[in-house]
Amino acid sequence: MGKTMNAFASFLGVVLVPLSALAGPDAGPPAALGSARIASPEALIASGREAVRKMGTYRARLVKTERIKGEVLPAQTIDILVRPSPRAVRMEFVAGAKSGRRVLWRENNRPNEILVREGGILGITSLWLDTSKGLPARAGTNHAVSDIGFAYLFDIMERDLAKGKSQGSYGWKDLGLDPNGLYRIEWIAPQGARGLYAQRTRLGIDPKLHVPVDIEVFDAQGLLERYQYTNVHIQQAPKPSDFEDL
């Protein structure tokens, strides 16, 4: 078993260290983290994509904070349901701006539109909005509904890595475990690199899920966005109606 684990870690570019070294002298070992420490952006993307593949359809609560037109907006809390294939996202806004709103997107049915039902008296009926035209479908956010979830995070990271590596070397800080048991990494783009989504990214990786559940993204102006996922439930079996109507 030891040889097999070491071979797999070597393939991913992961360095194996004792749990005591990862957790620090006073912290107990985190459940299900194993003894693997992520050693590079490439290893993070590879292991993260494999973890997402194993999650299947999942539910989570998302708290997102974004800077829009120079202003960091108040956080929104959203319950999400994500199906990997065919890709679909259902969102229910439970706190913050647009509380009560429900949103549905499917890649296999009107993929350039989202179905929206507002809360309260405005929610008499659902409306289809064309996402290709931006507002109002993209009002108050940097992202399309189809961007929600863990898979898209690794798409952004992979694109930035490809662009950034041609302009210099990435900085990589392994910060170990935080007081909440998340494995912290900071990823810094090459100085002066252009055309990137993020200049600096802080990640908090859940040791059981093996995906980042706390993501802070910074650009030249400071904090661009923060996405925090909690109550993640994998391998869900949603009702067919969950992705059919609101």
Q: What is the DSSP string of 136-163?
A: TTTTT-SS-GGG-SHHHHHHHHHHHHHH
Number of domains in the chain: 2
Contact between 59 and 84 (Cβ < 8 Å) = no
Show pLDDT as tens, one digit a residue, over the chain (246 residues): 444 334 333 333 343 333 333 333 333 334 444 445 788 889 999 999 999 999 999 999 999 999 999 999 999 999 999 999 999 999 999 999 999 999 999 999 999 999 999 987 777 888 998 887 655 455 678 888 999 999 999 999 999 999 999 999 999 999 999 999 999 999 999 999 999 999 999 999 999 999 999 999 999 999 999 999 999 999 999 998 999 988
76 and 49 both lie in a single domain: no
**What is the phi-psi region of residue 175: left when phi exceeds 0, alpha when psi lies from -120 to 50, beta otherwise?**
alpha
218 and 169 both lie in a single domain: yes
Query: How much is the pLDDT for 9?
Result: 37
Crossing angle of helices 41-55 and 2-12, in 10° steps, is 110
192 and 132 both lie in a single domain: no
104 and 136 both lie in a single domain: yes
Neighbour-count burial of 108, counting CB atoms closer than 10 A to its CB (0-12 exposed, 13-18 middle, 19+ buried): exposed
156 and 224 both lie in a single domain: yes
167 and 46 both lie in a single domain: yes
C-alpha to C-alpha distance for 103 and 41, rounded to whole angstroms = 32
Contact between 114 and 131 (Cβ < 8 Å) = yes
Q: pTM for the whole thing?
A: 0.82
C-alpha to C-alpha distance for 199 and 85, rounded to whole angstroms = 31
15 and 30 both lie in a single domain: yes
32 and 88 both lie in a single domain: no
168 and 134 both lie in a single domain: no
91 and 43 both lie in a single domain: no
Closest to 37 in 3D by CA, of 185, 228, 149: 185
136 and 97 both lie in a single domain: yes
Query: How much is the pLDDT for 33?
Result: 46
Contact between 193 and 171 (Cβ < 8 Å) = no
155 and 43 both lie in a single domain: yes
Range of the domain at 97: 58-63+71-143+234-243
C-alpha to C-alpha distance for 107 and 77, rounded to whole angstroms = 24
**Residues 157, 160, 164, 169: what is their CA dihedral angle, to the nearest 10 degrees?**
-10
Query: How much is the pLDDT for 8?
Result: 31
Which residues 6+ apart lie within 8 Å of 227 measured at CB? 62, 63, 64, 153, 214, 215
How many other CB atoms are found less than 10 A from the CB of residue 26?
5
C-alpha to C-alpha distance for 177 and 4, rounded to whole angstroms = 25
**What is the phi-psi region of residue 112: left when phi exceeds 0, alpha when psi lies from -120 to 50, beta otherwise?**
alpha
